[in-house]
Amino acid sequence: MNPKYHLEQAYKEGTISRREFLQRSALIGATVAVPGAMMAGAAKAEMKRGGVLRLGMGGGSTTDTIDPGTHTDSVGITIERSMRSYLTEVSPSGELIGEVAASWESKPGATDWTFELRNDIEFHDGQKLTANDVIYSINHHIREGSTSAVAGQMGKISEMKADGDHVLHITLSEGNADFPWLISDYHVSIFPENGGWETGVGSGPFSLVNYEPGVRAELKRNDNYFKEGRPYFDGLEVTVIADAAARDNALKTGQVDATNRVSQRTALLLDKAPGVSVHKVVGTKHYTVPMLTNIPPFDNVKVRQALRLAVDREALLKTVLGGHGEIGNDLPIGRRQEFYNTELPQREYDPDQAAFLLKEAGMSGLSVELSAADTAFDGAIDAAVLYAEHAKAAGINVNVIRESNDGYWSNVWQQKPWVMCYWSGRPTQDWMWTIAYEVGGAWNDNNWNNESFQSLLKQARVEVDPAKRKDMYWEMQRLHWEEGGTVVPLFAADLMGVSNKIQLPEVIGSDWELDGQRCSERWSFA
């Protein structure tokens, strides 16, 4: 076992102190990034100017475009975040900070929002960024006939009005206290009204020089970037490398400086290679096993509870994720997210209790089908087979159906009664619950219709008092933990491979891969 991993684990579990961790890391000569959240307050690292950051990334395709409404995967998002800016930004430590917006406020009820924009921002072509550009950009997603992936999510905007060049009023048809979070979404970037998104002009840290979708992208530094001193690199080169082994090789041979999606199976080996280290970040990405709760036998709450008890999460974590992650507690909310209910006990593997619940429900010897394909997540079929093994001990017969990868999201997910699924997670509770758990939501994959849960979701959305919101979200989590239809067995870590030539900041964003897909402006050469 790699000593570096041991240390990191021990530190995270709290068996050694931070001082001890750093001393012992130095002893074994390891360059280790201290697990994110625990490094707050450490001294600021020296960021150096210069050099071209070369990324080797999975998650790109020849079908990628620079239309901000179309991104679905990592390469498109990284390029988008590098060439354009957003109203707001999720900071590495997980707070919402302004990017183009300097400040914002809402009236009670959270329907009327006012954003004050920075007045010193210019697009790559020299035009000033104004409130009209923001309106034009958001309209791209909500106009009639929009093909944007966030058309639904942004659809609650009923009116946008510019007040001069740098003040923007947005009215929502339904209040939402988390609205400033919603517009940090990677789709909602800002481009000039005069030119549109087609030109690729933005106000981001880099400007696009050359882009061959699915192959490579080349960007050069925006010397006129509005964030002081940033970016540190002179340029950014993204090479799309779909194959995990090829990404490892490219990093080992120094052809790229960092890679995303290191395979769980080769992470240890890659970490041992000279000049390279593997960093893992656990954020909000989670694997789910949603049941359609309006379809028998999943309409029976005891069946749902029994199935949640019938899986050994620790074993899944070890086998499916190679230990790179955390076990889930049937909540789609990350442990470090705001308003996480810390009082709910961790649900354990308890086949006896599961069998007992089924007996009570008169469903002993239950037989159910579980649909899986590796499109849901890498290892989903293995996970389903393991689930079936674990459930046997409770007398439950889980019949694993291997589905085709093609068309999984249109023909299996939301269609078959019990399936494998993943969510990259969302930075706020409201956002996550709304997209996948609110009745009538387009991506609702469980149809769980609990009246108090649904009404709390609506109340909390317009509530601006944090103390009251906390109570509501805690109650919603309790309800979902007790009666909900989605099993959340695992939170998966993002693994990235980084050359030792790169200087990482102390805190690495966990909202998306590669430092919130903002590594191009947050990292530098050492």
Partner 1 sequence: MGLTRLIVNRFLFGLITLLAITLLISLALEALPGDFAEQRLGQSATPETIAAIREQLGLNKPVLVRYAEWLGNFLQGDMGISLSNSRPVAELLATRLGNTLFLAVASAIVAVPLALFLGIVAALYRESLLDKMISTITLAAISLPEFFIGYMLVALLAVNWQLFPAISSISDSMSLGEKIYASLLPIATLTFVIVAHMMRMTRAAIINLLQSPFIEMATLKGLKRSRIIVRHALPNALSPIINVIVLNLAYLVVGVVVVEVVFIYPGLGLLMIDSVTSRDLPIVQACILIFGATYITLNMLADILAIICNPRMRHPR
Q: Rounded CA gap, 86 and 109, in Å? A: 24
Q: Which stretch binds partner 1 (CB under 8 A): 222-230, 250-258, 450-458, 503-511?
A: 250-258
H or E element in which residue 433 lies: helix 429-437
**Which string of DSSP letters, residue by residue, matches 122-183?**
B-TTSPBP-HHHHHHHHHHHHSTT---TTTTTTTTEEEEEESSSSEEEEEESS--TTHHHHT
Q: What is the closest distance, in whole angstroms, from the C-beta atom of residue 460 to partner 1 in the complex? A: 23
Q: Is 269 in the site for partner 1 (CB under 8 A)?
A: no
Alpha-carbon 237 to chain mean position: 23
Per-residue b or e along 297-316, where b marks 16 or more CB atoms closer than 10 Å to that residue's CB: bbebbbbbbbbbbbbbbebb
Q: Is 275 in the site for partner 1 (CB under 8 A)?
A: no
Q: What is the closest distance, in whole angstroms, from the C-beta atom of residue 255 to partner 1 in the complex? A: 6
How many residues line the site for partner 1 (CB under 8 A)? Answer: 43
**Which string of DSSP letters, residue by residue, matches 442-484?**
TT-SS----HHHHHHHHHHHH---HHHHHHHHHHHHHHHHHH-
Q: Which of 12, 118, 128, 216 binds partner 1 (CB under 8 A)?
A: 216
Tell me which residues in 391-420 interact with partner 1 (CB under 8 A): 404, 406-407, 409-411, 413
Q: Which of 121, 168, 208, 240 binds partner 1 (CB under 8 A)?
A: 240
Q: Rounded CA gap, 81 and 522, in Å? A: 12
Give the contacts of 20 (CB within 8 A, at least 6 positions apart): none
Q: 439 in helix, strand or coil? A: coil
Considering beta carbons, is residue 31 or 146 the nearer one to partner 1? 146
Q: Does a cis peptide bond (omega within 30 degrees of 0) precede residue 297?
A: yes
Q: Is 252 in the site for partner 1 (CB under 8 A)?
A: yes
Q: What is the closest distance, in whole angstroms, from the C-beta atom of residue 270 to partner 1 in the complex? A: 11
Q: Is 285 in the site for partner 1 (CB under 8 A)?
A: no
Q: Which of 164, 214, 296, 466 binds partner 1 (CB under 8 A)?
A: 214
Q: Is 253 in the site for partner 1 (CB under 8 A)?
A: yes
CA angle at 141 for the pair 137 and 144, rounded to the nearest 5°? 115
Considering beta carbons, is residue 249 or 364 the nearer one to partner 1? 249
β partners of residue 116:
103, 167
Considering beta carbons, is residue 50 or 275 the nearer one to partner 1? 275
Which x/- pattern, by CB under 8 A, does the window 313-352 give for partner 1? ----------------------------------------
Q: Rounded CA gap, 8 and 10, in Å? A: 5
Q: What is the closest distance, in whole angstroms, from the C-beta atom of residue 260 to partner 1 in the complex? A: 15
Q: What is the closest distance, in whole angstroms, from the C-beta atom of residue 494 to partner 1 in the complex? A: 18
Contact 490, 384 (CB under 8 A): no
Q: What is the closest distance, in whole angstroms, from the C-beta atom of residue 443 to partner 1 in the complex? A: 7
Considering beta carbons, is residue 242 or 361 the nearer one to partner 1? 242
Q: Rounded CA gap, 487 and 291, in Å? A: 8
Reference 423, options 485, 379, 483, 376; nearest CA is: 376
Q: Which of 10, 242, 479, 526 binds partner 1 (CB under 8 A)?
A: 242
Q: Is 213 in the site for partner 1 (CB under 8 A)?
A: yes
Contact 255, 483 (CB under 8 A): no
Tell me which residues in 134-153 interact with partner 1 (CB under 8 A): 145-152
H or E element in which residue 246 lies: helix 244-252
Q: Is 38 in the site for partner 1 (CB under 8 A)?
A: no
Tell me which residues in 51-80 interact with partner 1 (CB under 8 A): 56, 61-65, 67, 70, 72
Write out the residues near partner 1 by the rule CB under 8 A.
Answer: 56, 61-65, 67, 70, 72, 145-152, 212-216, 239-243, 245-246, 249-250, 252-253, 255, 404, 406-407, 409-411, 413, 442-443
